[in-house]
A and B are shown apart, each in its own frame.
Chain A
Amino acid sequence: MGDDRFNHEEDLFCPGHRACPGCGAALTSKFVTEVTGPNTIMSMPTGCMEVTTTPYPESAWGISWIHNIFENAAAVAGGIERAYRSFKRRGKKGYTDYDDVNFVVLAGDGATFDIGIRSLSGMMERGHDVLYICYDNEAYMNTGIQRSSSTPIGASTTTSPAGKESLGEDIHKKDMPSIAAAHGLEYIATASIAYPEDFKKKVEKALEIEGPKYIQIFAPCPRGWRHESKNSIKIARLAVETGLYPIYEMENGEITNVKKLKERKPVEEYLKAQGRFKHLFKQEGGDKVVEELQSIADHNAKKIGIDK
């Protein structure tokens, strides 16, 4: 009582939602609303965050929020943004000024990398003033941990399980930030829930830019990745420290602000902390996948310039 930590009156993402303890996406939601403030309209596709935050008649959202279907959040946001542009131009009364509203999408990797990529590509190409944030937990968690095109090789999911003839996912993770960059975006960033201040700064910076922006935040899923809830931040940090999930900004196509590392940790440290990779250390051939993941980290380091 009287402890400010338990006062949620002003929160725009409120406690009481049904996300799991240690959920990276729930933390992301909290960080996002802390930056955007109330003058925000968020469009969210079907997914974990949608179902855990809006079980009718409850809602965890203190901002205006809309969900339509799985694969159209970017287009819905684009429609909202054009409506406000029209209201401003036509002088419609009763609506907040176009320039004062943050139009934001918050979507999982399945809705971003896979099923919603058409909507996202269209939104970026048309130049809608929308900030698209993808919380990347590297699989379809809401439906029960099926692989997406964001799943890294070696990860065991319910549709790419490890087995006698399988070492888990065998297709490389799609490079979404580069796809966003190919659309000519002024601002793209990757982030991690392990570095909230860095993420919040990126959201703040993105919101100041007119036009489409893309931020991808690494958001562990304890249930899907088979780790203890208390380790979400630790694992998120390890992903950055090993070079597997580099965090950087890309402005007008140029990588501008990379989180540098004095000494990269070996990928094993990150992989061993999660049940989804444990077969790699037991099964024959697992070492080859670990080597491949290390080479991905090395490649990232070179391409993005992580090493100090």
Chain B
Amino acid sequence: MTKIMTGYEAVAEAVKACNPDVIPAYPITPQTDIVERISEMVADGELTSEYVRVDSEFNAASTAIGASAAGARTFTATCSQGLKLMSEPLFSAAGMRLPLVLAIANRSLSAPLSIWGDHTDTFAERDGGMIQFYAEDLQEAMDNIAIAYRVAEDKDISLPALSCLDGFILTHVQEEVDPFTQKEIEEFLPERDPVNTLDPSDPTTMGAYARPEHWTETRYVVHRAVKRSKEKIGKAVEEFADIFDREYGLEYNGLVETYRADDAEVLIVALGSVCGTTRYVVDEYRDMGEKVGMVRPRVYRPFPEKELARALEGAESIAVMEKDISLGYQGGLAIDIKSMLYSNGSKIPVLNYIVGLAGRDVSKENIRNVVEGAKEVKGKDPTDLDFDDEERWEPLRKELISEDDM
């Protein structure tokens, strides 16, 4: 039975259904409401997890790491500065192959301080061996929690997973969602069966240090596990569809979703909630007879290069519209997509639109500008594009910037 609820409630409901053993919690806007809602569930006896009120995000991650090493299912949530503070233990958790599931209420990184959303926080964690899911709406934010547990705790994967939803835009909006029933979740998500535990009945050494003769191979194995998680996500999404009757990019291993993309000449690539608005704009263009479509990666790491290559094939121009900027180059998603297209021998021109940083609204008008920009470079050879012209900010309020800084 569907219910109207907020994003933070949807995530909390999903966590409750997945029933973690240990939940370390620390507040940060706009994630706080997730752990608040969970604390209410614990206070009311609806959830029997160990709820640990820790002293920092650093120790939320560290407590989850200890519990996961012991064999427990864990959950915590954070974003922005909090994710930065977790970064060191999270990289180490991936290296130690400890499954963790985190909800991330995506938010910008200081400075300047801002509580509003973009993807710069999770993109900064790109290289750490964490699986990253991005939700477009509340139902997906809820469903990704269960999928994240399935994949993260799979014995062949055993890695941390970040289930991302846009701060405020998704966490604090209300939508109709279909919560998991006990029967559904039991069928989809088995109890955690860890590869190793710290139980004294069979003593283990975890987290030994490696010298140069072993380190590279240790890293390679983690890298392979992250890559291998693609198949596992595909399988999980397929089974999810069978049990819950909700589908996420089944044609693309559950890693990529497309919208009116098959015959599209212009493709917009975007992550997360902005895809909702993008669908409207795509429909407008289609109504005018213009072949515009959208490609939405659901997963950023592992990078779904083959699926994206297939989804983008045949386009005459691509605009990667993202809430990230790798200062000194371009947005992270555009960088990866261009790298993939090069290896694929593609000659599609790619523009990189930086949008919606720190919660700036991305309107239909902005997205129309992105489409118009992409239309202008249709069919051009990528070498005809000026490097500096590939990167565009939609919009950039030039009146706020001194001439010296332009």
Taking a contact as CB atoms under 8 Å apart, the answer to whether B205 and A54 are in contact is yes
Give A96 to B29 CA distance when docked, in angstroms. 39
The smallest beta-carbon distance between B273 and chain A, in angstroms, is 32
The smallest beta-carbon distance between B221 and chain A, in angstroms, is 13
Taking a contact as CB atoms under 8 Å apart, the answer to whether B207 and A82 are in contact is no
Taking a contact as CB atoms under 8 Å apart, the answer to whether A55 and B54 are in contact is no
CB-CB contacts below 8 Å: B45-65 with A? 48-50, 52-56, 58-59, 62-65
Of B50, B56, B64, B88, most A-chain CB atoms within 10 Å? B50
Which residues of the other chain, A, contact B50 by a CB distance below 8 angstroms?
82-83, 85-86, 89
Give A119 to B58 CA distance when docked, in angstroms. 9
CB-CB contacts below 8 Å: A133-175 with B? none
Interface residues as binary, B18-60 with A (CB distance below 8 Å gives 1, 0 otherwise):
0001101000000000000000000000001110111110110
**Cβ-closest chain A residue relative to B49:** A86
Which residues of the other chain, A, contact B218 by a CB distance below 8 angstroms?
56
- B residues bordering A, Cβ < 8 Å? 21-22, 24, 48-50, 52-56, 58-59, 62-72, 74, 88-89, 92-93, 96, 197-201, 203-211, 214, 218
The smallest beta-carbon distance between B63 and chain A, in angstroms, is 4
Which of B53, B58, B69 touches A80 (beta carbons < 8 Å)? B69
Taking a contact as CB atoms under 8 Å apart, the answer to whether A83 and B55 are in contact is no
Taking a contact as CB atoms under 8 Å apart, the answer to whether A118 and B55 are in contact is yes
A84 at the interface (CB under 8 A from B): yes
A201 at the interface (CB under 8 A from B): no
Which of A56, A68, A122 touches B89 (beta carbons < 8 Å)? A68
Taking a contact as CB atoms under 8 Å apart, the answer to whether A122 and B56 are in contact is yes
Taking a contact as CB atoms under 8 Å apart, the answer to whether B198 and A79 are in contact is no
Give A38 to B203 CA distance when docked, in angstroms. 8
Q: A43-B66, A77-B66, A79-B22 are in contact. Are A63 and B207 (CB under 8 A)?
A: no
**Cβ-closest chain A residue relative to B88:** A69
Give A57 to B209 CA distance when docked, in angstroms. 9
The smallest beta-carbon distance between A65 and chain B, in angstroms, is 5
Q: Is the interface of B mostly helix, strand, loop or mixed?
A: mixed
Which residues of the other chain, A, contact B204 by a CB distance below 8 angstroms?
64-65
Which residues of the other chain, A, contact B56 by a CB distance below 8 angstroms?
118, 122
Taking a contact as CB atoms under 8 Å apart, the answer to whether B203 and A66 are in contact is no
A51 at the interface (CB under 8 A from B): yes
Taking a contact as CB atoms under 8 Å apart, the answer to whether A87 and B72 are in contact is yes
15 additional contacts (CB under 8 A) given A50-B209, A69-B89? A41-B70, A41-B200, A54-B207, A56-B211, A59-B205, A64-B206, A76-B62, A78-B59, A82-B52, A86-B21, A86-B22, A87-B72, A90-B48, A96-B200, A101-B200
Q: A86-B49, A119-B62 are in contact. Are A56 and B22 (CB under 8 A)?
A: no
Give A161 to B304 CA distance when docked, in angstroms. 53
Which residues of the other chain, A, contact B67 by a CB distance below 8 angstroms?
79-80, 82-83, 86
**Cβ-closest chain B residue relative to A78:** B63
Which of A83, A87, A118 touches B59 (beta carbons < 8 Å)? A118
Taking a contact as CB atoms under 8 Å apart, the answer to whether B208 and A121 are in contact is no
The smallest beta-carbon distance between B51 and chain A, in angstroms, is 9
A247 at the interface (CB under 8 A from B): no
A125 at the interface (CB under 8 A from B): yes
Taking a contact as CB atoms under 8 Å apart, the answer to whether A75 and B209 are in contact is no
Taking a contact as CB atoms under 8 Å apart, the answer to whether A62 and B54 are in contact is no
The smallest beta-carbon distance between B321 and chain A, in angstroms, is 36
Give A86 to B52 CA distance when docked, in angstroms. 11
Taking a contact as CB atoms under 8 Å apart, the answer to whether A66 and B92 are in contact is no
Taking a contact as CB atoms under 8 Å apart, the answer to whether A80 and B207 are in contact is no
Which residues of the other chain, B, contact A82 by a CB distance below 8 angstroms?
22, 50, 52, 63, 66-67, 72
Taking a contact as CB atoms under 8 Å apart, the answer to whether B209 and A56 are in contact is yes
Which residues of the other chain, B, contact A75 by a CB distance below 8 angstroms?
54, 58-59, 62-63, 66
Of B24, B69, B96, most A-chain CB atoms within 10 Å? B69
Give A71 to B85 CA distance when docked, in angstroms. 12
A232 at the interface (CB under 8 A from B): no
Taking a contact as CB atoms under 8 Å apart, the answer to whether B199 and A94 are in contact is yes
Which residues of the other chain, B, contact A300 by a CB distance below 8 angstroms?
none
Of B55, B201, B203, B210, most A-chain CB atoms within 10 Å? B203
Taking a contact as CB atoms under 8 Å apart, the answer to whether A76 and B199 are in contact is no
The smallest beta-carbon distance between B67 and chain A, in angstroms, is 4
The smallest beta-carbon distance between A108 and chain B, in angstroms, is 15
Between A and B, 20 residue pairs with Cβ closer than 8 Å are A43-B66, A55-B211, A67-B206, A69-B62, A72-B58, A75-B58, A76-B65, A76-B66, A78-B52, A78-B66, A80-B66, A82-B22, A82-B67, A83-B71, A86-B50, A86-B67, A87-B21, A87-B70, A90-B21, A94-B197
Give A57 to B52 CA distance when docked, in angstroms. 34
A40 at the interface (CB under 8 A from B): yes
The smallest beta-carbon distance between B69 and chain A, in angstroms, is 5
The smallest beta-carbon distance between A134 and chain B, in angstroms, is 18
Taking a contact as CB atoms under 8 Å apart, the answer to whether A54 and B209 are in contact is yes
Of A54, A75, A80, A85, most B-chain CB atoms within 10 Å? A75
**Cβ-closest chain B residue relative to A121:** B55
A39 at the interface (CB under 8 A from B): yes
Give A69 to B85 CA distance when docked, in angstroms. 13
A126 at the interface (CB under 8 A from B): yes
A6 at the interface (CB under 8 A from B): no
Give A61 to B200 CA distance when docked, in angstroms. 12
**Cβ-closest chain B residue relative to A67:** B207
Interface residues as binary, A31-62 with B (CB distance below 8 Å gives 1, 0 otherwise):
00000001111010000001100111111011
Which residues of the other chain, B, contact A51 by a CB distance below 8 angstroms?
209
Taking a contact as CB atoms under 8 Å apart, the answer to whether B66 and A83 are in contact is yes
Interface residues as binary, A89-125 with B (CB distance below 8 Å gives 1, 0 otherwise):
1101011100001000000000000000011011001
Give A41 to B56 CA distance when docked, in angstroms. 24
